[in-house]
Structure 1
Amino acid sequence: MRKIILSLVAIMAYTAVFAQGIEFGHGTLQEALAKAKKENKIVFMDCYTTWCGPCKYLAKNVFTQKEVGDFFNKNFVNVKMDMESEAGKPLMGKYNVSAFPTLLWLDSDGNIQHKSLGASDAEALLLTAKTAADPENSWGALNKKFEAGERSAAFLQNFILISSQGEFDTKAATEAYYALKKPEELINATDLKIITSTVKSTADSKFRFVLKNKAKFYALSEKAQIDQFIEQIMMEELMKVTREEDKAAIAAKEAELISLDKEVGVKVIATAEVNALYRSPERVKFFEALANYAIKYDFDNMEGLNKYAWWIAQAEEEISKDLMDKAIIMAKRSIELNTNFANIDTYACVLNKAGRIKEAKVQAKKSIELATEEQKKDLWSVKFMEGN
């Protein structure tokens, strides 16, 4: 390793703001690495952008917590890096940062020891940080063991899951792991997690394996989670083809998805059609497709149903009685799932647009009664009752 000479200037330049929570230094990454070498620590780098909502959440609500600060300040040299700044841009390619926030732990030579994507609560962040600080179980430590030939099943399970969390390449590790197991031995909760964390294509044999054994996997996890895994991969492939605007290729991909799983394939195609209509100027067609989709496929989504019904109620276009009836069904279903001032407000608005004024007043009063004084300021029902 290249020897780093730590100058007095570098020590003084890398200063930190001391407050409750993580103490982030105000210096360059090189200065942080030099400080880490001197103190025999690793560097924690928060890779953020100024427009990233989850980044702001971490900075305001998680990094500021005392328990988080105590652990990070004791074990790491902490630095924040705006990845769109002149200092940050070169690091995006070097460390393969493509999503925000990305949290990196680096040794004093700048090599990745651990990586995590996305925002989390303090408890989850501390768990990740403790793994990053563990010289035996960080991604860097596990990767060295893998490169040295470690191939036990338990090791590979752990290595694959930690690698997938940081979006590292898992191809070699998964191939080695699956070579140790018979297909029927993969039907368990841990291997399901490995499959859903690493499979990215409908052509992957493990994707086909999950499809073939859906009923057995449903017994291990929530049905919705497994369905979401299947739908997400299918949707990503369909959207990729759709962006190319090749009608023949789109039709071929749709036929392929239906052949894999008719029920899920039809749903994915319906979702894609709604997404396409969302960008269309023909708003009524979009509302009609949305209502049909929601009632058939999204009928247990309280927030979604409320939002869809509200869009139709607020539409400037002429809405048919049939579509208004569907909006009423969605609004009522949202209330059945979880009664609150907001979805009753939506129901009142939908009834009013449908011309059922008397019923709309009844629901508007209910919404107002449930709302706080602050919530009433922007409530449609308040304005409606004031005008009637």
Structure 2
Amino acid sequence: MKTISNYTFKTILFIGIGLLCLSAEAQEVEWLTWSDAAELVSTEKNPKKIFIDVYTDWCGWCKKMDKDTFQNAEVAAYMSKNFYMVKLDGEGKEPIEYKGKSYKFVPQGRNGYHEFAATLMQGRLSYPTTIFLDEEMNMLSPVPGYQKPKPFLDIAKYFGDNIYKEKDWKAYIGASGR
């Protein structure tokens, strides 16, 4: 019978504990489709705001934001509590209904874009872009570009905690020392 050395055992134990710590740090977010979030807003007695992550399959910064920001335990917990979270492919092919209008995919060049994504991003097709909508699906703000967890959480709390109703962004950031 072969036994493992004390060194090998400690190495395996150390790696196992490290992996457990990593898995405890990352948290999966429950992403919804647009139609699921829209239905929840219209049927819930006290609906949440909607958060939309507009991405593309080819976008490296989108993947980095998924891994670094959205799987951050503090970000994921806050977002899940305060928002219906939607993943929206900026080049998706399925039609989307929003406020009585149907939006569709527009072929252009090698790929194309989805009209709904372009509308939410106010014509600036930049990935990733995160969009915040209120409980009645009105636009609060698009936020273009990759965001690290802490700055993203500041933005999310600005909208999620309704601070935007009392302070403009500069006053909020300045007052909080961010």
Q: TM-score, normalised by structure 2?
A: 0.62
Structure 1 distance, partners of 2:37, 2:75, is 19
Residue 93 (structure 1) aligned to one of 114, 118, 137: 118
The answer to whether the Cα contact below 8 Å between 1:44 and 1:79 also exists between their aligned partners in 2 is yes
In structure 2, the residue matched to 1:69 is 76
Partner of 1:52: 59
Relative distance call for 1:122 and 1:156 in structure 2 (3 A) is closer
Equivalent position to 1:111, from 138, 147, 151? 138
C-alpha change, 1:86 and 1:65, in structure 2 (3 Å) is same
Tell me the distance in 1 between the aligned counterparts of 2:146 and 2:48.
Answer: 24
Q: 2:129 aligns with which of 80, 102, 122?
A: 102
Q: Equivalent of 2:35, from 10, 30, 34?
A: 30
Pick closer, same or farther for the CA change 1:157–1:102 going to 2, 3 Å. Answer: closer
Q: What secondary structure, in the 3-state scheme, does the structure 1 residue paired with 2:142 have?
A: strand
How many residues are matched? Answer: 127
1:157 to partner: Cα distance: 7.6
CA distance in 1, matches of 2:138, 2:168: 22
Q: 2:149 aligns with which of 122, 126, 132?
A: 122
- CA RMSD, Structure 1 to Structure 2 (Å): 2.7
Q: What percentage of residue pairs aligned between the two structures are identical?
A: 28
Which residue number in structure 2 is paired with residue 135 of structure 1?
A: 162
Paired with 1:122 and 1:52, the residues of 2 have a C-alpha distance of 18
Aligned partners of 1:33 and 1:109 also within 8 Å: no
Q: Distance in 1 between matches of 2:132 and 2:28?
A: 18
SS in 2 for 1:24: coil
**Structure with larger Rg:** 1
Measure the CA separation in 2 of the matches of 1:68 and 1:136.
17
Mark the CA change 1:111 to 1:156 in structure 2 (over 3 Å): closer, same or farther.
closer
- Alignment gaps of 5+ in structure 2: 1-25, 95-104, 106-113
Please name the residue that 2:170 is paired with.
158
Matches within 5 A, 1:292-303: none
Letter paired with 2:41: A
Which structure has more RCO (C-alpha within 8 Å, separation ≥ 6)? Answer: 2
Classify 1:35/1:23 alpha carbon distance in 2 versus 1 (closer, same or farther; 3 Å). Answer: same
Write the distance in 1 (CA, Å) between the matches of 2:119 and 2:136.
13
In 1, the alpha carbon distance for the partners of 2:27 and 2:169 equals 37
Matched-pair contact (CA < 8 Å) for 2:41–2:136: no
Mapped contact 2:157–2:163 kept (Cα < 8 A) = no
TM-score by length of 1: 0.30
Per the alignment, residue 40 of structure 1 pairs with 47
The residue type paired with residue 34 of structure 1 is E
More helix by share: 1
Written as runs of structure 1 = structure 2, the 5 A alignment for 1:195-206 is: none
Q: In 1, Cα distance between the equivalents of 2:149 and 2:117?
A: 25
Residue by residue over 1:180-220, the C-alpha shift from the partner in whole angstroms, topping out at 9 and shown as x without a partner, is xxxxxxxxxx8xxxxxxxxxxxxxxxxxxxxxxxxxxxxxx
Change (3 A) 1:157 1:115: closer
Which residue is equivalent to 1:205?
A: none
CA distance in 2, matches of 1:57, 1:43: 22
Distance in 1 separating the partners of 2:139 and 2:128: 16
Superposition map of 1:209-228 within 5 A: none
CA distance in structure 2 between the partners assigned to 1:62 and 1:124 by the alignment: 10
Gaps of 5+ in 1: 1-18, 143-154, 163-189, 191-388
Point out the structure with the larger strand share: 2
User: What letter is aligned with 2:91?
Assistant: E
